[in-house]
Amino acid sequence: ERSCRGVSRVTQELIAVLYVARGIDMLWMFEGAGSEAVKAGHLVLAVGVVGVMRYSPKVLETYDADCDTVPHAFMLVPPFILALVFHKLLLFGELLHAFSWYLEAIVLIPQFVLLYRRQKYESWVLLLTMLHGTEALLAGVPIMYNWHESQLKEPYDLLASVMQATVYLGGFLMLLWRHIESKPVLNDSADKLAFETEKVYDASAFEFSEEQKPPPA
């Protein structure tokens, strides 16, 4: 059964935008067969997921539109402004690459919001979110590990990596708190045993007889 319950289409569309911005330089620059294959694979997969979620009738029926309400502009405008202001770039491709770096830092926010609102979701959805977040975190580990050097050479990339780690860990802590909060707790308002009090018994309906004692020997 095809289902996208618990999957944020906003996040998937942002991921597609991210990989388009990151892979558009393939049109005029060749960085090697391996790098080009990875970029193309990410791009095709991201666009394919969005296409299925938008145009497959069976999948579209299971989409949680009422929970996936984070505006696209809210997610796209800040990264573009950061890339435009903090990076003194003249090349369009480099500007888009910086934009994709900032967008990747916050791309999971709609997914976490949807899971928080929905409360109940399949385990594979949580696993998919963890895999994507872990992949992004691993990409930023070298920058955060060499934070002193990165602070001098690429301070805004370091800031994006820190933001990404904060969103990722904060999102899972939020889901954990929601899970703990939704568990039933024993209190004074818990269900109690119900005793039948409305039924009244009439004593005249019962017959009582004295026990006869045996005659003395």
- The string of pLDDT tens digits covering residues 4-34 is 888 999 999 999 999 999 888 777 777 777 7
Whole-number Å distance between alpha carbons of 145 and 164? 14
Domain boundaries, the chain: 9-182
- Show Cβ contacts of residue 118 under 8 Å, excluding neighbours closer than 6 positions: 5, 6, 64, 67
CB distance 118 to 97 below 8 Å: no
Residues 25-45 as b/e (b if ≥16 CB within 10 A, e otherwise) read: beeeeeeeeeeeeebeebbee
CA-based angle 23:28:31, to the nearest 5? 65
CA-based angle 119:64:4, to the nearest 5? 95
The pLDDT assigned to 200 comes to 53
- Using only C-alpha atoms, the chain has a radius of gyration, in whole angstroms, of 30
The pLDDT assigned to 151 comes to 54
- Show Cβ contacts of residue 98 under 8 Å, excluding neighbours closer than 6 positions: 82, 83, 86, 87, 89, 156
User: Band of the pLDDT at 197, cuts 50, 70, 90?
Assistant: very low
Q: What is the DSSP letter of 143?
A: H
Residue 195 has pLDDT above 50, yes or no: no
The pLDDT assigned to 44 comes to 92
Q: Is the pTM of this model over 0.75?
A: no
Whole-number Å distance between alpha carbons of 193 and 70? 45
The pLDDT assigned to 210 comes to 59
Q: What is the DSSP letter of 75?
A: H
Residue 188 has pLDDT above 50, yes or no: no
User: Band of the pLDDT at 215, cuts 50, 70, 90?
Assistant: low
